[in-house]
Amino acid sequence: MSHKKVVFMGTPEFSVPILETIVKSSYKVSCVYTQASKKSNRGQKLNISPVHKCAENLKLTVRNPKNLNSVEEFEFIKELNPDIVVVVAYGQLISKKFLDIPKEGFINIHASLLPKWRGAAPIQRSIMNLDTETGISIMKIREDLDAGPVMKKIEVQIDESITAGDLSKNLSKISSRSIIKTLDDIFNKNLKFIEQNHKQATYAKKINKDEAKINWNEEAEKILAKINGLNPNPGAWFIYKESRYKIWRAKIIEKSGPPGTIFNDNFIICCGDKSLEIIEIQKEGKNKLLLKNFLMGISFKRGDELK
């Protein structure tokens, strides 16, 4: 199915392997769209997205408008006359007039089993919600967010120790392995598009920094799910002696005591039911440390309370 023209839209690291796979195939990537560069926190340096970097390395045409839905971009894509547009975590809503340009429409790879977890943070939400499975859904884009008919779903088990970072890499790999067969099937008319059951839709709203604060009254399993679901970004945190600490990895142990107190000399922390043993932790402004290295640099007493 060679020489069909593809426009690719994506922004984070998750999208990169899928773009690379399409470029290596017989499909022709006419243009790559990605989110506009952001200024870095420390100064005025512009940070370009992982997809932007990848596209430049592959010598592809890149466009990164602040607003996709302009007359200029509409005319540009129309002029390109793509056969299909592939969208993977692009980060902007696409208006209806664009959806009619490509012959085979816009398809989207979304990191959940739709209609569950439509929206911005499906990977984090699935872990934080203690789901036992997730996956990817490949769907046709309609105007409503993640509501189009689905042509393919691939399921993945969620292990209780997996982080959002690891799950994201895994789902990205699965997506990149599936994309060429999916495109072939679309052009060969081999796929059925199945409407989602909109009544069952749930939404994975963007992670709010405040919700990353650990509530020690919750069950240990729920707290661990928050730690894993918010690793690597933004990280689940607590306050101890006026300083903020992020827990990056931990495991549940069968000890109990008053929630939010330090149980013993190994900095075991009591939760609503059981306790958490920390594996990796970070004090604000410092590097991540394994527990044994962390314990060498902190003075604490059993029974101290964390906030």
Beta-bridge partner residues of 156: 134
Distance of CA 240 to the CA centre of its chain: 29
What is the CATH code of the structural domain delimited by 209-296?
Answer: 3.10.25.10
Distance between CA 306 and CA 247 in Å, rounded? 13
List pLDDT tens digits, range 120-153.
Answer: 999 999 999 999 999 999 999 998 889 999 999 9
- Residues 251/277, Cβ–Cβ less than 8 Å: yes
Find out if CATH 3.10.180.10 is the number for domain 5-200: no
List pLDDT tens digits, range 237-288.
Answer: 999 999 999 999 999 999 999 999 999 988 999 999 999 999 999 999 999 9
- Residue 195 in this model has a pLDDT that exceeds 60: yes
Enumerate the domain spans of the chain: 5-200, 209-296
Weakest mean pLDDT among 23-32, 36-45, 228-237, 294-303? 36-45
- Residue 40 in this model has a pLDDT that exceeds 90: no
> What DSSP line would sit under the chain, residue for residue?
-TT-EEEEEE-SGGGHHHHHHHHHSSSEEEEEE-PPPEE-SSSSPEEPPHHHHHHHHTT--EE--S-SSSHHHHHHHHHH--SEEEEES--S---HHHHTSSTT-EEEEESS-TTTTBSS-HHHHHHHTT-SEEEEEEEE--SSTT-SPEEEEEEEE--TT--HHHHHHHHHHHHHHHHHHHHHHHHTT----B---GGG--B-PPPPGGGGB--TTS-HHHHHHHHHHTTTTT-EEEEETTEEEEEEEEEEES---STTBB-STT--EE-SSSEEEEEEEEETTS-EEEHHHHHHT----TT-B--
Please state, rounded to an integer, the average pLDDT across all residues of the chain. Answer: 94
